[in-house]
Structure formats: C-alpha cells, structure tokens
Amino acid sequence: VLHTAAEFSDPGVDYKFSPGERGCAHSHYRMWQRVAQGALPMLILEDDVQIIFERSSRGMSSGAIFTERLNLGMAEASKKQADVLYLGWSGHRDGNFKHMKASRGKKNRLIRKAEYVWTTVAYVLWPEGAKKLLAAAQPMNQPVD
C-alpha cells in the first residue's frame, strides 16, 4: 500500500473540483512530494499515456522511440537546468504563453519553453521543480492537468 485512505481525505483543495479532478490533482501532489524528497528526477506517467500510437508523420511510435526521445530530451533539459520536461500535452507546439514571450529564432527540435500546458500525459520532474510546484499548490486551487 503506497497511501492510506486518511491521506486522501483532505487534499487541501479549495476549488470545487469534480471527484476525478480532485483525485488526479492529489495523485500529482503526492508524486511531487516524493520527487521533492529525492535527489533525482522522476518520470511521471498518467493512466492514459500511450507509448505506442500512430504519429502525425513518420509512422508508429514505440517503446524504443519513446526511450530514445526521452533520453535526448533529458540530455537537453539537463543542459538547461529544467525543472520539468513535459513529454506530451495538448496545445500549441511552440509553448502556451500568457505572461512570457516565445523565444525567437531557430527552435530546439526536442524541447521548447512553455508557460503552461494542459492535458499532460507524461512528464519528468526534477526535485527543484517539485519544490516549486508544491509551494505554488498552497492551496491547490485548480486542476493539475
């Protein structure tokens, strides 16, 4: 047993979440706590992540392609001292910006800066990023993905 019912009884959420949103947010919050206590980044997969799928170009994705792209993305994100590396989401490829501006010029083919994302399916979270998310999630007042 990873968690008890008591741990889920009060997730500290003020927003009127649906039961599914509440459970999802609380699951992410608990993972952020685990990452923050560690020294290494952690791969977090949603229950609906698909490793094998038909890509919009270049045929089918596979576990081997996922691993290759993950390794390349991790190397690039580490160079930039990233807090989080989103591996799949809904939204604009160049990042979704409300307050920041998109970078100009040639784009990195593997990673992009994004101000926010939604419908995440997988991400890698570093301990410093987890600490920032935990600090910002007090109180947890919006859906996490």
Q: How far apart are CA 49 and CA 43, in angstroms?
A: 12
Consecutive H or E run containing 120: strand 118-125
Residue 106 confidence (pLDDT): 66
Q: What is the pTM of this model?
A: 0.72
Q: In terms of Cα–Cα distance, which of 37, 52, 58 is closest to 130?
A: 37
pLDDT tens, position by position, 99-133: 566 666 666 666 666 655 666 778 999 999 999 99
SS3 state of residue 33: helix
Residue 10 confidence (pLDDT): 56
75: left (phi over 0), alpha (psi -120 to 50) or beta: alpha
pLDDT tens, position by position, 70-94: 999 899 899 989 999 888 655 555 5
